[in-house]
Amino acid sequence: MDVIEIVRKDHDRVEELFSRYHGGSGITGLVKGLIGNVPARQRRTAVEGLCRELDLHARLEEQILYPAARATADGQLVRLIDESLREHAKVKEMVRELRGRSPEAEDLDSRVNALQEQVEHHVSAEEGEMLPRLEQVMSAERRAELGRRFQAGRRQPAQRATARRGRAARAGGRRRTGRATKGTRQKKRARGRRKAQRK
Ligand SMILES: [Fe+2]
Ligand SMILES: [Fe+2]
């Protein structure tokens, strides 16, 4: 898939998380948001998702998209990337401050709103200027190749998390069983005997 399309989808995902923080989309979400009736759990999950998504998206852009765009040596793109990197630094700083904050913290709303404003400004610069310029100066094949790398980078953290959960579950399983049962001891002995016979 074209990297431009993937980046736009990432932006939509972030927009959806902001909307969830404010109560969700649709009329119910609007009312919830207006009367300040968004459950703390929903707000917390949305903030966690935002921090995770924004960190990952910025990292992938900086590792994959921006260097490739810079390598085109197109003057307009280079200027836009420099500006984008300054904006990323601001977003990352705001995300750092937001992480671990209680959903009941008094300044949470103002922090999320400030982050949203910053992100919307950045996204409109990327979607309005950088991506259209990239489409003009970079071949579709190259964009598709970058798209594959972007998607692989997206999968990596998810795979690492699954592996971590697997290891934790296995460790928990070992702790729960504690000592080996009679059955597993017998199986181990039989395996040992088979190995010895093979030697
Ligand atoms: Fe972006
Ligand atoms: Fe960006």
HEC sequence for 72-140: CCCHHHHHHHHHHHHHHHHHHHHHHHHCCCCCCCCCHHHHHHHHHHHHHHHHHHHHHHHHHHHHHHCCH
pLDDT band at 31 (very low <50, low <70, confident <90, very high): low
Looking at the predicted structure, is the pLDDT value of residue 180 above 60?
no
Amino acid at 99: R
pLDDT in tens, 51-62: 999 999 999 999
pLDDT in tens, 87-125: 999 999 999 999 978 777 888 999 999 999 999 999 999
Nearest ligand, CA of residue 131?
A: 1
How many structural domains is the chain composed of? 1
Report the pLDDT value the prediction gives residue 178, as an integer from 0 to 100. 44
Q: How far is the CA of 57 from the centre of ligand 1 (A)?
A: 6
Report the pLDDT value the prediction gives residue 177, as an integer from 0 to 100. 46
Report the pLDDT value the prediction gives residue 185, as an integer from 0 to 100. 46
Looking at the predicted structure, is the pLDDT value of residue 158 above 80?
no
pLDDT band at 179 (very low <50, low <70, confident <90, very high): very low
Structural domain that includes position 151: 3-198
Nearest ligand, CA of residue 58?
A: 2
Nearest ligand, CA of residue 81?
A: 2
Q: How far is the CA of 149 from the centre of ligand 1 (A)?
A: 15
Lowest mean per-residue pLDDT among 41-45, 69-73, 173-177? 173-177
What mean pLDDT is predicted for residues 17-43? 80
Residue 176 Cα to chain centre, angstroms: 33
Q: How far is the CA of 104 from the centre of ligand 1 (A)?
A: 29
Nearest ligand, CA of residue 12?
A: 1
CA distance 112 to 167: 34
The mean of the pLDDT values for the chain is 85
Q: How far is the CA of 2 from the centre of ligand 2 (A)?
A: 16
Q: How far is the CA of 16 from the centre of ligand 1 (A)?
A: 14
pLDDT in tens, 129-148: 999 999 999 999 999 999 99
Instruction: Report pTM.
Output: 0.77
Residue 47 Cα to chain centre, angstroms: 12
Find out whether 5 and 151 touch, Cβ atoms under 8 Å: no
Residue 136: exposure state from Cβ atoms within 10 A (0-12, 13-18, ≥19): exposed
Q: How far is the CA of 182 from the centre of ligand 1 (A)?
A: 57
CATH (domain of 180): 1.20.120
